[in-house]
Structure 1
Amino acid sequence: MRSLSQDFKSKRPLLINPSQAEAFLERCASVEIPMAAKMTDMGEMLAAIFGAKQTLEKFPPFAIVPVKGVIGANLSELESMCGCCDISDVEEMLEECERDPAIKTIILDIDSPGGTSVGVPELANRIKNSKKEVISFTASECCSAAYWIGSQANAGFYATGSSTVGSVGVYIAYPDCSEAYKMEGVRMEVIKSGLFKGAGIPGTSLDANQRKMLQDEVNEIHGEFKMAVKGVREFVDDASMEGQTFSGKKAAEAGMVTGLVNGFDEMMESLNSAVAAQMEADEENDERQECAEGVGHKAEEDEGDEYGTSRMASDRALLGIKANVLKASAAKMPAKVKADEESEDEKNDGVAPQPKGEEGEEGKGDIDAKDKAKDPTDPDDPEYDPDEDPSLKAKAEPSTEKADAEADAGEKAVDTDSDTDDKSKHKRNKSRGVA
């Protein structure tokens, strides 16, 4: 850790509970990152430990600015991935909201135990003087530096009854290790210039001048803190700003928050029910997408998930629907149209119907058994073909040269006209007086 570690260990004024600061540093120190780990892998690992980094969300006319994690200034990327809140990031999100004409109200979603004092007064002052309406909300923790920031909301501060609010105070911690050094036989000699130089060197004790200097520093910051709170939350008395924390319910009684709500959704419902419904719908959609991504590999195995069928199952369903539609359409189609379409399909396939022959030789297939049974000389036969009647051939007109050549070669054309065409031809011949 860079900035936070230095602030916590270099005896600078802090706006966070000492035990929480220590626990945070220990947690960060316990993280072991493989030397060969990629940045993406490292980010996923830290997100699993500390949670995914929160970002600005817009639901016009509202924008939600997250203030979550231990607060610090000019943090490294690693510190941000470890769950810290960089003051610079919050300022950038506020600037973006102020530039957006569609945003009318900024909501600070706070979950933080506090942090360092550097940059906090400036950010709090910026929130107080924002051109947009600002609302603060916490459902968990809003203490020290986080409360200084959240208390400056000009349009209200809402908290849940079980949340933790307050801790208006500042401290600097200097361990006095002089007795421990003496027991080890070590005596520290500090050669310095200036009354206040060398304060807090390990193995030494603070003198009166150094102690007064540090006390004046924390008193000054504490005074600014209380003045900022009372400048917006005028009903808060000094007795409630002596470093103690309150539940959300007690904080409301002390005037440290505007009112109590059961949660963020309830607050949004009271502000704008339409936007609240949109946010809820977006959350449900995000959950469905996350669930679908989590079981995406099952789709390749044709397995469904709780939100619908898999990709392969969907494809089968679509094919089934298409087949049923085509089948229903064919059932309603007239018989002649069906025959025409079937003939057209055969042409499109490039395969002409071939007569089935017993010999199986190409181009010399025998006629169908049904064709063998017909009598070409009987006019009453349904399969009667005048062209095949020997009695009519003598009365026929002379054939062309090509037909005579084909007749001399013994080639005989096979009639493939349909039964309907045969009957029609038969009727036409009768109308011409041909028996």
Structure 2
Amino acid sequence: MRYAHILLAVASEIWAIDEFKLDQIVSFLALQASGEKLSAEELRARVARQSERDVERRQGAVAILPLRGVIANRMNMMSDISGGTSSEAFGRMFSAAVNDPKVSAIVLDVDSPGGAVSGTDELSSLIFAARGTKPIVAHVNAQAASAAYWIATAADEMVLTPSAEVGSIGVLGVHNDISAALEKAGIKRTMMTAGRYKAEMAPSEPLSQDAMAYQQQRIDAHYQSFVGAVARNRGVDAAAVREGFGEGRMVSAADAVAIGMADRIATLDEVLAGLGAVDQAPATAKRAFAPQRAKRALALD
């Protein structure tokens, strides 16, 4: 039942995510909800979950904040399925770095297929509002799709690793009609509701035309918010985003820079070097051994 509840939650959400990733998640949840159990190896093969949790790190005075995996406002349901990032938690981490006097610059380390619309515009606006406080660079290695692109474009500068892809600007929803499966299983579900449109998205019933039209209106409204935010973040008009930023497709690094979707191509190490980030570990080790070298030099005289 646990996976059935998550499947319902996924269906009720509106997504700004790579459609193949969403299909992968929905297929996995439907399989688990049906009672089929997978081995640990099969789980890893079906859903590309992060093998270890990414955490904030520092290199010199530069804070590196990971924006990885599926993005959702709160990850309590999705984190155990495919890993990912809570936009709410990321916002707190970002604000702490902005307000930390020991942090001279912030790098958003992005590799994400996107995620839920809820919470995404708020995080994008939070990052955009922090422009001018200290350098904020979004580095994409190697994917910033949909919600991830919506968020990453809010940085002062967007830099792509040579093999990166960005875009997938679009919004989608999903409705799983399981009425035929219930009938095949000999289950007849009766919905008792109050309110004209209550339960119109229930998966136990086919989707009505009215419900489909309402859902499409919601998707269109979120798409306009997405386009407007990217236009603001990239300093272009909305038509340029709608008609020239891939139109829902992913765009390669070189093409993205050429059409203004990103600023330049560089590796993360090159970005950090440009921000003056210095790894302190080698310097500390060097100072520790300096007295020994001095003693050996004196002994040779």
- Structure 1: how far apart are the matches of 2:280 and 2:200? 53
Q: Which residue of 2 aligns with 1:62?
A: 62
Deviations 1:92-143 (A, max 9, x none): 2212212211223211000111111221111111000013321100121111
Who is 2:112 aligned against?
A: 112
Matches for 1:390-429 after TM superposition, within 5 Å: none
Q: Which range is displaced more, 197-206 or 157-166?
A: 197-206
Q: Shift of the alpha carbon at 1:89?
A: 2.6
Q: Deviations along 1:38-79, whole A, 9 cap, x unmatched?
A: xxxxxxxxxxx7322222222344211111111122323992
Aligned residue runs from structure 1 range 51-200, under 5 A = 51-76=51-76, 79=79, 83-130=83-130, 131-153=133-155, 155-177=156-178, 192-200=193-201
Alpha-carbon distance change, 64 to 81 in structure 1, aligned in 2, over 3 angstroms = farther
Structure 1 position 179, deviation (Å):
5.9
TM-score normalized with structure 1 length? 0.53
For 1:20 and 1:139, the matched residues in 2 are separated by 17
Aligned to 1:244: 249
Quote the offset at 1:189 in angstroms: 6.1
8 Å CA contact 1:176–1:200 kept in 2: the answer is no
Q: How does 1:280-319 map to 2 (within 5 A)?
A: 281=282
Task: Say yes or no: does 1:10 pair with 2:14.
Answer: no
Distance in 2 between residues matched to 1:23 and 1:14, nearest whole Å: 14
Higher relative contact order (CA 8 A, sep 6+): 2
Q: Is the 8 A contact 1:53 1:81 kept in 2?
A: no
The one-letter amino acid of 2:202's match is I
Cα offset, 1:176, TM superposition: 3.6
Letter in 1 for 2:113: P
What does residue 221 of structure 2 align with? 220
Structure 1 residue 183, shift from structure 2 partner? 7.5
Deviations 1:170-214 (A, max 9, x none): 111113455666788887765544442222323432223212211
Q: Which amino acid aligns with 1:213?
A: Y
Q: 2-side partners of 1:129 and 1:80: how far apart?
A: 32
- 2:292 is aligned to none
**Residue pair 2:11, 2:174 contacting (<8 A) in 1 also:** no
Q: For residues 5 and 141 of structure 1, what CA distance do their matches in structure 2 show?
A: 25
Measured in 2, the distance between the counterparts of 1:76 and 1:202 equals: 23
Amino acid at match of 2:234: R
- Amino acid aligned to 1:5: I
1:260 and 2:233 matched: no
Match of 1:269 among 273, 292, 295: 273
Offset, 1:234: 2.6
Task: Tell me if structure 1 keeps the 8 A contact 2:50–2:84.
Answer: no
One-letter code of the match for 1:268?
A: L
Q: Deviations over 1:367-408 (max 9, x none)?
A: xxxxxxxxxxxxxxxxxxxxxxxxxxxxxxxxxxxxxxxxxx
Matches of 1:222 and 1:164 in 2, distance apart? 20
2:151 counterpart letter in structure 1: I
Q: Deviations over 1:16-58 (max 9, x none)?
A: 224313435739967768xxxxxxxxxxxxxxx7322222222
CA RMSD of aligned residues (A): 3.6
Consecutive unaligned residues of structure 2, counting only runs of 5 or more, are 41-48, 286-301
2:12 partner SS? coil
Match of 1:10, SS state, is: helix
SS in 2 for 1:138: strand
Aligned residue number for residue 207 of structure 1: 208
1:230 offset after TM fit, Å? 0.4
Amino acid at match of 1:231: R
Q: Tell me by how many angstroms 1:252 deviates.
A: 1.4
Q: How many residues align?
A: 264
After superposition, what is the alpha-carbon deviation per residue over 1:226-256, rounded to whole angstroms, capped at 9, x for unaligned?
1000002134431226322111122112211
Alpha-carbon contact 1:64-1:108 (below 8 Å) kept: yes
Q: Tell me the secondary structure at the aligned position of residue 237 of structure 1.
A: helix
Partners in 2 of 1:7 and 1:17 — Cα distance? 19
**Using the alignment, how far apart are the partners of 1:177 and 1:12 within structure 2?**
17
